[in-house]
């Protein structure tokens, strides 16, 4: 009976299906809905073939990347989840004027350690920090992890898996097409400056995505709406092309080397909570390439040994052929320094292969020197380093084409008086090549881990730079990492001297200190005794001092040469006084305009100003010598009174008097209708403001408090300055337009000092008030002694200016 019922039911069902071949639900299904459901698997994942279609553009490397129409996918192997990677964000193409000249194409905007991490059916991109660390065997490790929870940059839904289920597919388009702060090219400062509103997704796009064995590269355009863009204001738009470089870091970090500030290195910092110190111990490590000897036994015997993996730089194919030999020399000049560290052939220059279609300068396995067609006058030596250990992974030196012009101009201005071959706009090719070689060496030095060392020029006696034998052997400074570009000290009678910088003894010393392999030292702490001994061996020798450059130390000034800034600037000005009257003849060409002359004249004024700044640094100056507690002497020492007095005498004679030698009629009458007075005023005002900096005056006050009779006091300096700047008034001599401007600038600077010091009411206020009163008396008493005219009016105006400063009208008074 039951079986009979079943047969009847099946017959009825078949009858219904015959009449209605599709269910009501099937009738409502659209073609689009059917396509969406096609390929769906358990868990909502799609089939690989439906995601990565036959039309996909795929690139395989660290992991596969895919472009399917306007969608971009990462195919991330599960083996790479939770692996440390480094994400470096750079601006690859920049809007004109963005950053006011301090940001260029190639500028790094962020560098962060990241990990890809699976969370259920999502992949998270997380930012990781090694700023706080502890050994994972210690109990405090748990607390370090809990108090340094990793932020999520972006979460991605897993769309599907590759055929063998060893990798997850995620669509990453939104990472590059939305305004993700972690990889943006615009900082908060720039957003505020240009009143950026938002990223316009419709005008943003991914232009390229490539995968290499050790890194993934993405190029994407970001277009922002802005009320006040730096250029093309009517568009209300800022567009950038961003470069995102993601590097796989070594599974086992290189052993780090502890930093010592007595030797200059780029660094990275960690706070070690597992340290035995009774505090959270901040440790600083240097940034360097990993060099390990192929033959440790031979290395230990003191033989030169090749490294397992040398540092290799490839020349950009865009580099003009005539400059390539100089670029190669600039790179391989560092081989001598590495030999001091026990390595031979440690750094090698090669031309990029033109017959290998797979070779790319963006491949992290290759470091390059790129030649960029740009009007930027600069060269840079950035590098990418592992934040866990300081190991430099890769580096791209960038040479901007117009940097040649900067060096030609400086060569003419600073050496032309004594160097006949510099007296032209067409500098001989070999000499330009030599300059380029040394610039490349300087930038490679940065990429090796070395910062600027501005104290290196102070290692050499100033008069020794006039000696051919000395300069040809030792160069112009103890390191190529100083900004000692040219020998502006040598005089016309000095023959055979070296004009251009080169590597020096400090370079060998620093590379040995940072790169020498120390057998048996299996931790950073185990190396410390040896490293300290190497520094102690050179203690007291100025060739091995380090100073990064600061405004208060006259022995650590940028662009300076020699150990006596006053003498060096005296020689430099003597040369400029030869260059100035010849500048028009050396820089003009028949049939051409005066644009080159105008450019060179502007730079000539800049050189004069720079020489002046070097001398200003002596006043209120403090020598800085980094020391450890076991060394003799002090770290900070004020300059002698006599040195400071000599510096002010130089300024009064050479800077604050009217520089008639700069006012060359042949130049002035051909470059502009007016402006000479304003140019000189600007330069002299800059030095007045520099001399009367608040921090400088405070150092003088402190020096007087500590050293009393040995100090050059702020009061004395102010009186000496007033006597010099207002000497015509005391002598009832004519005061020219340049001098009148300088006197107004003097009063204006005193006014600013008084206003800035109102809250503190320090000794600065007291001395400034007394100075203003003295100037007012001087001007008031002298005004009637001059005949009616501009000088009398000027002195009357000074009287009124000071009166307003000392007795301002109440707020709201008209």
Tokens of 73: 């996918």
**Starting at the edge strand that comes first in sequence, how are the strands of the sheet with 132-133 ordered?**
132-133, 267-272, 281-286
pTM for the structure as a whole: 0.85
Does residue 628 have a pLDDT over 70? yes
pLDDT of residue 365: 84
| pLDDT: which is higher, 432 or 27 | 432
Q: Tens of pLDDT along 142-172?
A: 554 545 557 899 999 999 999 999 999 999 9
CA–CA gap between residue 384 and residue 397 (Å, rounded):
11
**Across 39-43, average pLDDT:** 52
Does residue 373 have a pLDDT over 90? no
Q: Tens of pLDDT along 426-457?
A: 999 999 999 999 999 999 999 999 999 999 99
Question: How does residue 701 score in pLDDT terms, banded at 50, 70 and 90?
Answer: very high
Range ranked top by mean pLDDT from 313-317, 369-373, 536-540, 741-745: 741-745
> Which residue, 414, 412, 408, is CA-closest to 433?
408
Question: How does residue 13 score in pLDDT terms, banded at 50, 70 and 90?
Answer: very low
Tokens of 644: 């400071």
CA–CA gap between residue 522 and residue 527 (Å, rounded):
8
pLDDT of residue 109: 86
Range ranked top by mean pLDDT from 84-98, 379-393, 698-712: 698-712
438 and 476 in contact (C-beta within 8 Å)? no
Does residue 273 have a pLDDT over 50? no
Does residue 239 have a pLDDT over 70? yes
Does residue 106 have a pLDDT over 80? no
Tokens of 371: 């030649």
Distances (CA, A) of 55 to 52, 61, 67: 8, 19, 9
pLDDT of residue 560: 94
Averaged pLDDT of the chain: 88
Q: Are strands 281-286 and 205-211 parallel, antiparallel or unpaired?
A: unpaired
DSSP state of 808: P
Interaxial angle between packed helices 763-783 and 694-707, expressed in degrees from 0 to 180 and rounded to the nearest 10: 110
- Paired with 76 in beta bridges are 168
Does residue 743 have a pLDDT over 70? yes
**Residue in the structure block whose two tokens are 């000599």:** 646
Angle ∠(470,474,478) on CA atoms, nearest 5: 135
pLDDT of residue 146: 47
Does residue 286 have a pLDDT over 50? yes
> Which residue, 400, 480, 475, is CA-closest to 447?
480
Question: How does residue 27 score in pLDDT terms, banded at 50, 70 and 90?
Answer: very low
The dihedral sign for the CA sequence 53, 59, 62, 68: negative
Does residue 281 have a pLDDT over 90? no
pLDDT of residue 136: 55
What SS3 class is residue 804?
Answer: helix
The CB density around residue 293, as the number of other CB atoms within 10 Å, is 19
CA–CA gap between residue 636 and residue 626 (Å, rounded):
8
Does residue 595 have a pLDDT over 50? yes
Q: Are strands 379-380 and 367-372 parallel, antiparallel or unpaired?
A: unpaired
pLDDT of residue 132: 47
């Amino acid at each position: 009976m039951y079986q009979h019922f079943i047969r009847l039911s099946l017959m009825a069902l078949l009858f219904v299906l015959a009449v209605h071949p599709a269910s009501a639900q099937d009738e409502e299904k659209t073609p689009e809905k059917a396509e969406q459901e096609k390929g769906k698997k358990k868990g909502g994942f799609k089939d690989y073939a439906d995601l990565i279609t036959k039309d996909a553009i795929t690139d395989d490397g660290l992991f596969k990347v895919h472009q399917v129409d306007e969608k971009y996918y990462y195919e991330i192997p599960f083996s790479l989840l939770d692996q440390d990677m480094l994400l470096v964000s750079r601006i690859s193409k920049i809007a004109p004027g963005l950053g006011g000249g301090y940001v260029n194409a190639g500028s790094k905007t962020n560098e962060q350690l990241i990990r890809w991490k699976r969370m259920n059916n999502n992949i998270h991109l997380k930012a990781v920090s090694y700023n706080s660390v502890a050994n994972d065997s210690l109990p405090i490790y748990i607390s370090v992890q809990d108090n340094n929870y990793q932020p999520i940059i972006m979460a991605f839904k897993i769309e599907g898996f590759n055929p063998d289920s060893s990798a997850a597919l995620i669509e990453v388009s939104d990472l590059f097409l939305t305004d993700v702060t972690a990889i943006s090219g615009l900082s908060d400062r720039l957003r505020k400056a240009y009143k950026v509103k938002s990223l316009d997704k419709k005008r943003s796009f991914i232009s390229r995505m490539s995968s290499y064995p050790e890194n993934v590269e993405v190029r994407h355009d970001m277009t922002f709406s802005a009320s006040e863009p730096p250029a093309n204001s009517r568009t209300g738009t800022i567009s950038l092309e961003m470069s995102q470089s993601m590097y796989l870091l070594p599974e086992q970090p290189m052993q780090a080397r502890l930093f010592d500030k007595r030797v200059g290195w780029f660094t990275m910092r960690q706070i070690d909570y597992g340290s035995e110190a009774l505090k959270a111990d901040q440790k600083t490590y240097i940034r360097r390439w990993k060099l390990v000897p192929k033959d440790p036994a031979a290395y230990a015997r003191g033989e030169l040994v090749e490294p397992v993996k040398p540092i290799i730089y490839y020349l950009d194919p865009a580099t003009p052929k005539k400059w390539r030999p100089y670029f190669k020399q600039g790179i391989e000049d560092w081989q001598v320094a590495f030999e001091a560290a026990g390595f031979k052939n440690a750094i090698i220059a090669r031309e990029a292969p033109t017959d290998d279609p797979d070779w790319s300068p963006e491949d992290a396995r290759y470091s390059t020197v790129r030649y960029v067609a740009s009007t930027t006058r600069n060269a840079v030596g950035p590098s990418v380093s592992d934040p866990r250990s300081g190991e430099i992974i890769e580096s791209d030196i960038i040479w901007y084409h117009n940097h040649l012009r900067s060096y030609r101009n400086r060569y003419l201005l600073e050496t032309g008086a004594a160097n006949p071959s510099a007296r032209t706009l067409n500098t001989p090719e070999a000499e330009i090549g030599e300059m380029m070689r040394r610039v490349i060496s300087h930038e490679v030095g940065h990429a090796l881990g070395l910062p600027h060392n501005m104290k290196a020029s102070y290692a050499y006696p100033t008069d020794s730079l006039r000696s051919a034998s000395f300069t040809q052997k030792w160069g112009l400074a103890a390191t190529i990492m100083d900004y000692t570009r040219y020998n502006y000290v040598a005089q016309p009678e000095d023959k055979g001297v070296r004009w251009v910088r080169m590597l020096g003894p400090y370079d060998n010393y620093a590379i040995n200190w940072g790169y020498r392999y120390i057998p048996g030292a299996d931790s950073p702490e185990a190396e410390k005794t040896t490293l300290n001994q190497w520094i102690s061996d050179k203690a007291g020798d100025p060739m091995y001092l380090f100073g990064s450059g600061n405004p208060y130390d006259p022995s650590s000034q940028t662009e300076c040469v020699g150990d006596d800034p006053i003498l060096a600037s005296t020689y430099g000005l003597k040369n400029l006084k030869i260059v100035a009257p010849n500048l028009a003849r050396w820089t003009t060409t028949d049939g051409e305009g005066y644009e080159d002359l105008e450019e060179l004249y502007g730079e000539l004024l800049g050189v004069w100003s720079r020489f002046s700044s070097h001398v200003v640094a002596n006043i209120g100056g403090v020598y800085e010598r980094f020391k450890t507690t076991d060394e003799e002497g002090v770290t900070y020492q004020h300059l002698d009174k006599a040195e400071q007095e000599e510096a002010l005498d130089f300024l009064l004679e050479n800077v604050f008097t009217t520089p008639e030698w700069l006012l060359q009629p042949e130049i002035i009458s051909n470059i502009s209708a007016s402006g000479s007075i304003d140019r000189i005023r600007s330069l002299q005002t800059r030095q007045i403001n520099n001399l009367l900096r608040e921090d400088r005056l405070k150092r003088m006050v402190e020096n007087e408090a500590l050293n009393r009779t040995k100090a050059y006091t702020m009061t004395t300096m102010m009186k000496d300055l007033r006597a010099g700047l207002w000497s015509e008034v005391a002598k009832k001599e004519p005061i020219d337009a340049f001098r009148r401007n300088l006197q107004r600038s003097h009063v204006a600077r005193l006014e600013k000092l008084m206003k800035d010091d109102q809250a503190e009411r320090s000794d600065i206020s007291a001395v400034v008030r007394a100075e203003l009163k003295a100037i007012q008396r001087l001007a008031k008493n002298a005004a009637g002694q001059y005949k009616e005219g501009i000088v009398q009016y000027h002195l009357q105006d000074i009287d009124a200016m000071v009166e307003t400063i000392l007795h301002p009208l109440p707020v709201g008074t008209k």
